[in-house]
Structure 1
Amino acid sequence: RYAVDEDFAIVFITEPCFIANQDYIRSLRSRKLPAVIPIPPISGGSGLGMAQVRESVRKAIGMDILGIDDTRDSGQPENSASSESKE
């Protein structure tokens, strides 16, 4: 709540904290700021943070530019190596 009262633009919180405060965070969605971004805890995340970032980007520009095209033949994301270099 401090971040909201002090007009922070972006607030990063761990996924467990985000989940525990979902009702309050949901109430902030009608405001332009702050953008509340969940990040994975040190023990590993659930993917919630990336899902929230994708949704925020989709809302901002009207399309999902962070999505993975699942229709490619390789089934691999564009930036991942599908095979080792053979020499």
Structure 2
Amino acid sequence: MYKIGVVGEKDAVIAFLSLGMTVKGVENAKEAQMAIDGMAREGYGLIFVTETIAKEIDETIERYKNSFLPAVILIPGVQGSLGIGLQKIKDNVEKAVGVDILSKKEG
């Protein structure tokens, strides 16, 4: 069974401890990169990263984008959603299906 990790601002990720996930509270981009790369080396299957942190380490997020493991999923941070995670999901669905089926279209 794969482990699940969460990387982000301490205030945003601390609650995930109660779900049995490994939590890495980080304060800057360097700490976040080290936490994600460390979890990947340790065989984590899923790593949640707050959008606030992810926008600072785009190259690290992109590095794992096409790899099977770990799956890196963006979640809202302390400031709420920045829309980055939803946009990445839309982009992936459009790539797989060939059309954007998630946008609300007025008709």
**In terms of Rg, which structure is larger?**
1
RMSD: 2.0
1:66 is matched with which residue?
Answer: 102
Identical aligned residues as a percent: 31
> What residue is the counterpart of 2:52 in the other structure?
16
Post-superposition CA distance 1:30-77 (Å, at most 9, x none): 3122222211113222111111122223334444332221x32xxxxx
Partner of 1:20, secondary structure, is coil
- Match of 2:3? none
> For 1:58, what is the secondary structure of its paired residue?
helix
Normalised by the length of structure 2, the TM-score is 0.53
Unaligned runs of 5+ residues in structure 1 are 73-87
TM-score of the superposed pair, with normalisation by structure 1: 0.62
Report the counterpart of residue 40 of structure 1 in structure 2.
76
* Moved beyond 4 Å, runs of 4+: none
Structure (1/2) with the larger helix percentage: 2
Count of aligned positions: 71
Give the direction of change, closer, same or farther, for the CA distance of 1:50–1:4 in structure 2 (3 Å limit). Answer: same
CA separation of 1:10 and 1:53: change in aligned 2, threshold 3 A: farther
Which segments of 5 or more consecutive residues in structure 2 lack a partner in the other structure? 1-36
